[in-house]
Amino acid sequence: MCGGPTDAVATCLRSACEILTNDASSGYQP
């Protein structure tokens, strides 16, 4: 569940989520 109503927010959350998800799923890129 990564993303936000705003593109800027989505990008910020996506970056953080990518790092967190990277631990579980290596190379995760939405």
Total-model pTM: 0.36
Average pLDDT over residues 7-26: 73
Selected residue with higher pLDDT from 9 and 4: 9
Residue 15 in tokens: 């970056």
- 10-13-18-21 Cα dihedral, nearest 10 degrees: -120
pLDDT tens readout for residues 18-28: 777 766 665 55
Rounded to whole angstroms, how far apart are CA atoms 22 and 15?
10
Q: How far apart are the first and last CA of the chain?
A: 11
pLDDT of residue 2 exceeding 60: no
DSSP string, the chain: ----SSHHHHHHHHHHHHHHHHHHSTT---
- Looking at residue 9, its pLDDT comes to 78
